[in-house]
Amino acid sequence: MKLITEEVSQVEFITEGKGANKKLYIEGVFLQGNIKNRNGRMYPVETLAREVNRYSEAFVNKGRALGELGHPDGPTVNLDRVSHKITSLVQEGNNFRGKAQLLNTPMGKIASSLIDEGVTLGVSSRGVGSLREDHTGAKVVGEDFMLATAADIVADPSAPDAFVSGIMEGKEWIWEGGALREQVASHTRKRINTLVSQKRLEEHKLGLFQEFLSNI
């Protein structure tokens, strides 16, 4: 199975409460089914509905649906990078609308500060699954798709993400012993999510790509 990420920029950041009770939330469409997205992938809505139901029961309803700030390099949620908790994820036709609360963690505080300063942020779903190409050329996500998180917070989803996603999707992941483990397909040793700005990503892009190719 491959790591699959999808970016969504049309989300809202809303504030509820005042003073000590003030809370910041992300709200919008986190997942879309039955439509070919800009990455050329299509998620059957039945596959998404099944997985969202599982994810909601196992994580959202139990207060365990967490997301990170930035682009993680695998399907595991890293607790030291958690910035928010997903509080709801419901189906609306072919869309799945979510809401997430920013947490009082180091990464949550950074995200809140960026929002307060007017930085445009988006969200990115992250999961693993197989892909097959249909007659239209779309890459259809398989029934084995599993969500790692419905939403990570990302900066400027329209800019460096095609490169980041391309590197990460070169890896293969297998379900083994109740956990997802990386299968050797390609190894990019440096963590791309440390290149927090597009400018730095541009500076290091060639080197990262060469390193990626050398490990195929």
* Residues annotated as catalytic (active site), given as ranges: 71, 124
User: Would you put residue 17 in left (φ > 0), alpha (ψ -120 to 50) or beta?
Assistant: left
Q: What is the largest CA-CA distance in the chain?
A: 55
Count the Cβ atoms, other than its own, within 10 Å of residue 211: 16
Rounded CA-CA distance 38/40 in Å is: 5
Q: What residues are paired with 96 via a beta bridge?
A: 31, 91
Written as one letter, the residue type at 154 is V
The secondary structure of 105-164 as a DSSP string is: SHHHHHHHHHHHTT--EEEEEEEEE-EEE-TTS-EEEPTT-EEEEEEEEEE-TTSSHHHH
Q: Centre a 10 Å sphere on the Cβ of residue 174 and count the other Cβ atoms it contains.
A: 12
The helix-helix angle for 198-214 and 161-168 (nearest 10°) equals 30
